[in-house]
């Protein structure tokens, strides 16, 4: 059998995603892994998460391993699940080098040179000839073990700032021997590893390559084209093109919503011009518009989707037109996928309540009910859709625009993609024939119309602290176009997620900003990439921040602040005060018929919490 010719069963490839589901920390495939991949139907190939090749090279404590034969049984089960769905199984081999997780005891750190990651981490050991031989042997053994487990191909990581990219990049490779200096020397070790794999395996090898580090003096597209040609000459069968580095440009690495969409595609097109082997396009490819654009603009033939498969496990079927329902969009927020792994909970998803929740599959209701949903925010819309899918007759009451307070979430710069989930919910409501009543629900209407069940998704309202003199203030509605202040001196009370987002948004309108936060840090509850970018902007624009402090009083245009030492600070000439000190549930009324509070109306939380709550309550109807 010519396995090389059949590596990709169709043009869609599922990119590797760290799941973090090994909660026994044994590195073995378990039921959660199998369930996750079993549900991802449609791609021509699946590249599971990166496998650690040595217990001292883990990127997170809950990572899958391929370091020993005791992992083979689980890996073979994983291969069977992937093959049963009609996809090829491509094992991702990655030596992290200096990017091994420093918080995991026993990890060690090697690199091309003894340069630590600027974002933090230990100083790595500069590799000598024996270390390079050992690393090559490690990658070869891992690839052979994957082949034994039933893998149809190997993907070697030569990007994202990991070990082989550390040799390729002038930033991290400052050697003066045959493995450093000019491009030919910097390519030498990565190419030696490629040769070792190709000569040892009976299955094809493809390479994942960062075409650019997207930082000055890093890997650049011209060098990547030359490297791509060398890989093709050696017999590499496909190139999976990415950009960025986990160390120096993490927002690009994760294709975060805060960076422009499409840069990766340009890099892939440039490499496609110089090679004849398949080039796989990657980076926020989420819907048919993206696919059509790539085909028309770059004549792209292969597409790598990562988080799109998390947001919607049936995305490929929908792209092929085999299903009518709209694609549930990935928002590129990294909140629950990256955030879930970093927090030790495992990969989740803000928009998909079925990821890492173990909710049962939807079943038709035993007794269809007449259900009212009061409130068209995220929890209310998700509850209405799920209830309708189960066969209930659903009417949703919303006097304003659908989306609730989440309509404010995409107003900060760079967060426009968040709008897509509300558009998706609107299409789903229509697809499942949910009746939208554009009016305010009242107890009399709900009780007179004899609904069997009422879901109260009335959301939350700002929790305003009892500060003497505080009577004229704003909340996040200040970000709406007609409310945006310009050239004002503004004091923001509260430095959490909402307060920080407001501050970052107002920077660009020539405002002088002061933030007051009672805790030691600001933006504590913000996703890590957005937090890093936001804090950099606040520092760059010299926003005045008082932590461990509280506002004690407001008088006319002056505000009194008390710090942790009991010292009073007076700030005068304040033009506007914004309060972002948290939320509290909103209960406009109760009913004599059966009802349930859901989402923020039960407990204020994030978008992920609201969507999960809406889904879960509909399961119980």
- φ, ψ of residue 549 to 5 degrees: the values are -140, 160
| 194, 260, 286 from 306: Cα distances, Å | 24, 17, 9
Q: Does residue 358 sit within a domain? A: no
| 152, 541, 616 from 428: Cα distances, Å | 37, 42, 17
Nearest alpha-carbon partner for 149 in 63, 76, 92: 76
Instruction: Return all residues near 248 (Cβ < 8 A) that are at least 6 apart.
Output: 117, 118, 119, 161, 171, 213, 215, 218
Euclidean distance between CA atoms 550 and 543, whole angstroms:
17
Range of the domain at 263: 3-342
Are 237 and 301 spatial neighbours (Cβ–Cβ below 8 Å)?
no
Q: What is the pLDDT of residue 547?
A: 97
- Domain with residue 563: its CATH number is 3.50.50.60
Mean pLDDT of 453-473: 96
Mean pLDDT of 46-64: 97
Q: Does residue 25 sit within a domain? A: yes
Same domain assignment for residues 35 and 60: yes
Q: How confident is the model at residue 513 (pLDDT cuts 50, 70, 90)?
A: very high
Other C-beta atoms lying within 10 Å of the C-beta of residue 108: 12
Q: How confident is the model at residue 361 (pLDDT cuts 50, 70, 90)?
A: confident
Same domain assignment for residues 207 and 328: yes
Residue 323 corresponds to which tokens in the numbers above?
């299903």
Question: Tokens 């073995």 identify what position?
Answer: 28
Mean pLDDT of 421-446: 97
Q: Does residue 319 sit within a domain? A: yes
Residue 531 corresponds to which tokens in the numbers above?
């937090």
How many structural domains are present in the chain? 3
Question: Tokens 């038709």 identify what position?
Answer: 364
Same domain assignment for residues 117 and 44: yes
Same domain assignment for residues 458 and 480: no
Same domain assignment for residues 538 and 442: no
Euclidean distance between CA atoms 238 and 13, whole angstroms:
12
Euclidean distance between CA atoms 218 and 220, whole angstroms:
6
DSSP-derived secondary structure for 366-393: SS--EEEEE--SHHHHHHHHHHHHTT-E
Q: How confident is the model at residue 508 (pLDDT cuts 50, 70, 90)?
A: confident
Q: What is the pLDDT of residue 28?
A: 98
Same domain assignment for residues 510 and 417: no
Q: What is the pLDDT of residue 212?
A: 96
Euclidean distance between CA atoms 239 and 331, whole angstroms:
26
| 41, 144, 151, 153 from 202: Cα distances, Å | 27, 9, 10, 9
Mapped onto helix, strand or coil, the DSSP state of residue 558 is: strand
Chain centre to alpha carbon of residue 549: 33
Euclidean distance between CA atoms 342 and 528, whole angstroms:
9
Mapped onto helix, strand or coil, the DSSP state of residue 512 is: strand
Alpha helices in 49-112 (DSSP H): 72-84
Q: Does residue 242 sit within a domain? A: yes
Please say if the pLDDT value at position 616 is more than 80.
yes
Same domain assignment for residues 164 and 75: yes
Alpha helices in 214-358 (DSSP H): 221-234, 250-253, 263-272, 288-298, 307-311, 315-319, 338-342
Rounded to the nearest integer, the mean pLDDT of the chain is 96
Nearest alpha-carbon partner for 528 in 277, 254, 158: 254
Q: What is the pLDDT of residue 3?
A: 45
Same domain assignment for residues 281 and 143: yes
Q: Does residue 468 sit within a domain? A: no
Q: What is the pLDDT of residue 2?
A: 42
Mean pLDDT of 193-218: 97
Same domain assignment for residues 491 and 416: no
Same domain assignment for residues 575 and 589: no
Mapped onto helix, strand or coil, the DSSP state of residue 253 is: helix
DSSP-derived secondary structure for 162-230: SHHHHHH-TTT----STTSSSHHHHHHHHHHHHHHHHHH-SS-EEEEEES--SSTTS--HHHHHHHHHH
Mean pLDDT of 496-524: 95
- Domain with residue 611: its CATH number is 3.40.50.720
Mean pLDDT of 38-48: 96
Instruction: Classify each residue of 514-530 as buried b or exposed e, where b means 16 or more C-beta atoms within 10 Å of its C-beta.
Output: bbbbbeeebbeebbbbb
Q: What is the pLDDT of residue 476?
A: 94
Q: What is the pLDDT of residue 191?
A: 98
What value, to the nearest 5°, has the Cα angle with vertex 152 and ends 158 and 234?
45
Q: Does residue 352 sit within a domain? A: no
Q: What is the pLDDT of residue 215?
A: 93
Are 340 and 310 spatial neighbours (Cβ–Cβ below 8 Å)?
no
Mean pLDDT of 113-140: 96
Please say if the pLDDT value at position 252 is more than 60.
yes
Bridge partners (DSSP) of residue 490 are 513, 576
Same domain assignment for residues 605 and 570: no
Q: Does residue 200 sit within a domain? A: yes
Euclidean distance between CA atoms 342 and 36, whole angstroms:
18
Convert 84-95 into a string of H (helix), E (strand) and C (coil): HCCCEEEEEECC
Euclidean distance between CA atoms 219 and 212, whole angstroms:
5
Please say if the pLDDT value at position 546 is more than 50.
yes
Euclidean distance between CA atoms 282 and 13, whole angstroms:
9
Q: Does residue 435 sit within a domain? A: yes
Nearest alpha-carbon partner for 547 in 575, 506, 515: 515
Nearest alpha-carbon partner for 158 in 199, 179, 187: 187
- Taking only the tens place, the pLDDT of each residue in 56-84 is 999 999 999 999 999 999 999 999 999 99
Mapped onto helix, strand or coil, the DSSP state of residue 362 is: coil
Mean pLDDT of 588-604: 97
Nearest alpha-carbon partner for 244 in 263, 222, 266: 263
Euclidean distance between CA atoms 121 and 364, whole angstroms:
52
Residue 364 corresponds to which tokens in the numbers above?
């038709």
Same domain assignment for residues 417 and 488: no
Other C-beta atoms lying within 10 Å of the C-beta of residue 184: 11
DSSP-derived secondary structure for 432-468: TTPEEE-S---HHHHHHTT-SEEEE---EEE-----T
Euclidean distance between CA atoms 261 and 480, whole angstroms:
24
């Amino acid at each position: 059998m010519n396995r090389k010719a059949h590596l990709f069963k169709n043009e869609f490839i599922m990119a590797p995603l760290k799941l973090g589901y090994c909660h026994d920390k044994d590195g073995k495939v378990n039921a959660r892994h199998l369930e996750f991949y079993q549900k991802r139907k449609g791609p021509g190939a699946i590249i599971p998460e990166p496998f650690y090749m040595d217990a001292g090279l883990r990127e997170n404590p809950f990572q899958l391993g391929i370091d020993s034969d005791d992992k083979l049984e689980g890996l073979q089960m994983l291969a069977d699940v992937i093959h049963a769905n009609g996809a090829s199984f491509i094992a991702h081999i990655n030596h992290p080098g200096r990017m091994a997780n420093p918080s995991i005891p026993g990890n060690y750190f090697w690199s091309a040179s003894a340069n630590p990651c600027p974002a933090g981490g230990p100083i790595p050991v500069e590799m000598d000839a024996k270390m390079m031989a050992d690393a090559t042997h490690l990658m070869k053994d891992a690839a052979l073990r994957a082949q034994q487990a039933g893998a149809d191909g190997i993907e070697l990581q030569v990007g994202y700032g990991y070990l082989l990219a550390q040799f390729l990049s002038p930033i991290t490779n400052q050697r003066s021997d045959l493995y450093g200096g000019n491009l030919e020397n910097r390519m030498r070790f990565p190419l030696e590893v490629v040769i070792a794999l190709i000569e040892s395996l009976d299955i094809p090898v493809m390479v994942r390559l960062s075409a650019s580090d997207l930082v000055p003096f890093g890997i650049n597209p011209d060098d990547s084209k030359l490297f791509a040609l060398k890989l093709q000459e050696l017999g590499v069968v496909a190139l999976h093109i990415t950009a960025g580095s986990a160390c120096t440009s993490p927002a690009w690495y994760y294709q975060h919503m805060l960076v422009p969409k499409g840069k990766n595609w340009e890099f892939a097109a440039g490499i496609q011009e110089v090679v004849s082997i398949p080039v796989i396009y990657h980076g926020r490819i989420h819907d048919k518009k993206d696919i059509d654009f790539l085909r028309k603009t770059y004549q792209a033939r292969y597409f790598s989707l990562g988080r799109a498969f998390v947001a919607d496990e049936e995305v490929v079927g929908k792209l092929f037109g085999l299903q009518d329902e709209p694609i549930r969009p990935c928002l590129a927020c990294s909140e629950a996928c990256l955030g879930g792994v970093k927090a030790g909970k495992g990969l989740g998803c803000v928009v998909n309540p079925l990821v890492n929740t173990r909710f049962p599959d939807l079943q038709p209701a035993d007794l269809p009910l007449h259900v009212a949903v009061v409130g068209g925010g995220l929890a209310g819309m998700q509850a209405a859709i799920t209830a309708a899918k189960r066969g209930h007759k659903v009417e949703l009451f919303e006097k304003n625009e659908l989306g609730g307070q989440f309509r404010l979430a995409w107003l900060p710069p760079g967060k426009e993609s968040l709008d897509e989930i509300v558009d998706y919910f609107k299409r789903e409501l229509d697809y499942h024939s949910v009746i939208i009543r554009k009016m305010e629900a009242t107890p009399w209407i709900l009780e007179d119309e004899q609904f069997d069940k009422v879901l109260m998704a009335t959301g939350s309202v700002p929790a305003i602290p009892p500060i003497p003199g505080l009577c004229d203030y704003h909340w996040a509605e200040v970000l709406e176009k007609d409310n945006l202040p310009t050239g004002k001196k503004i004091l923001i009370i509260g430095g959490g997620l909402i307060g920080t987002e407001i501050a970052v948004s107002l920077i660009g309108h020539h405002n002088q900003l002061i933030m007051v936060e009672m805790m030691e840090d600001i933006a504590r509850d913000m996703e890590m990439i957005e937090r890093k970018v936001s804090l950099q902007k606040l520092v760059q624009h010299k926003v005045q921040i008082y932590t461990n402090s509280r506002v004690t009083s407001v008088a006319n245009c002056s505000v009194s602040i008390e710090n942790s030492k009991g010292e009073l600070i007076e700030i005068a000439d304040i033009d506007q005060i914004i309060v972002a000190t948290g939320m509290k549930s909103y209960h406009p009324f109760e009913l004599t018929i059966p009802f349930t509070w859901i989402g923020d109306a039960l407990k204020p939380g994030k978008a992920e919490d609201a969507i999960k709550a809406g889904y879960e309550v509909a399961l119980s109807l």
